[in-house]
């Protein structure tokens, strides 16, 4: 899939980010924080649409790849486009994990895990809801994400 709007996704200044985000959204995306599980409305949302980086608007995940996970965070088996996701080794807190960040916004999103028995393909992108904005399928065109409607055909 190609994205005709890719030039529109730019990271704003830190001042603009602070002004636009809630303290939790800023903490998660800019300070690599983590929200508490089961607290964000997206963890069990099932509506059709896409999830974009709350900072830049980069399309990251689709509801078609979202699945119910007992972890308490929104979980996806794949990203919309691999090149939008950056994976970084994370050895914090005495654990070996893989951090997931958005490419253009450099927003901390969460972590990706392999061999998840709940995932349809074994991959679980465990993502903080605070790092995302949901764009419902029926609003994709008007919000400039019309290219992604074909995902739902």
Please report the pLDDT score of residue 64 as a whole number: 97
Give the gyration radius of the chain's Cα atoms.
15
- Flag whether pLDDT at 8 surpasses 80: no
pLDDT tier at 3, thresholds 50, 70, 90: low
Please report the pLDDT score of residue 97 as a whole number: 84
- Flag whether pLDDT at 4 surpasses 60: no
Q: How far is CA 32 from CA 4, 130, 134, in A?
A: 29, 11, 20
CB-based burial, 57-91: b 16+ in 10 Å, e otherwise: bbbbbbbebbbebebbbbbbbbbbeeebbeeeeee
Q: Which range among 4-8, 77-81, 134-138 shows the weakest confidence by mean pLDDT?
A: 4-8
Pick the catalytic residue from 28, 54, 80, 126: 126
| 126: annotated active-site residue | yes
Under CATH, which number does the domain 11-152 receive? 2.170.150.20
Alpha helices per DSSP H over 12-64: 14-20, 23-31
- Flag whether pLDDT at 34 surpasses 80: yes
User: Rounded distance, CA 151 to CA 153, Å?
Assistant: 6
Q: Taking the model in full, what pTM does it have?
A: 0.93
- Please state the rounded mean pLDDT for residues 57-73: 96
Listed residue (144, 148, 102, 105) closest to 127, CA to CA: 102
- Please state the rounded mean pLDDT for residues 70-88: 95
- Flag whether pLDDT at 93 surpasses 90: no
pLDDT tier at 31, thresholds 50, 70, 90: very high
- Flag whether pLDDT at 123 surpasses 60: yes
């Amino acid at each position: 899939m190609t994205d005709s709007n890719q030039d529109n996704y730019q990271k704003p200044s830190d001042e603009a980010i602070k002004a636009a985000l809630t303290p939790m959204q800023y903490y998660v995306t800019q300070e690599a924080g983590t929200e508490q599980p089961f607290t964000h409305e997206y963890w069990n949302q099932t509506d059709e649409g896409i999830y974009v980086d709350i900072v830049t608007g980069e399309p990251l995940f689709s509801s078609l790849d979202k699945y119910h996970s007992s972890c308490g965070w929104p979980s996806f088996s794949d990203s919309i486009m691999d090149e939008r996701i950056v994976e970084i080794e994370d050895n914090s807190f005495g654990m070996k994990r893989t951090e997931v960040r958005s490419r253009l916004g450099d927003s901390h999103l969460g972590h990706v895990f392999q061999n998840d028995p709940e995932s349809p393909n074994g991959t679980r992108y465990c993502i903080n809801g605070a790092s995302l904005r949901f764009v419902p399928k029926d609003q994709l065109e008007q919000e400039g994400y019309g290219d992604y409607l074909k995902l739902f055909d």
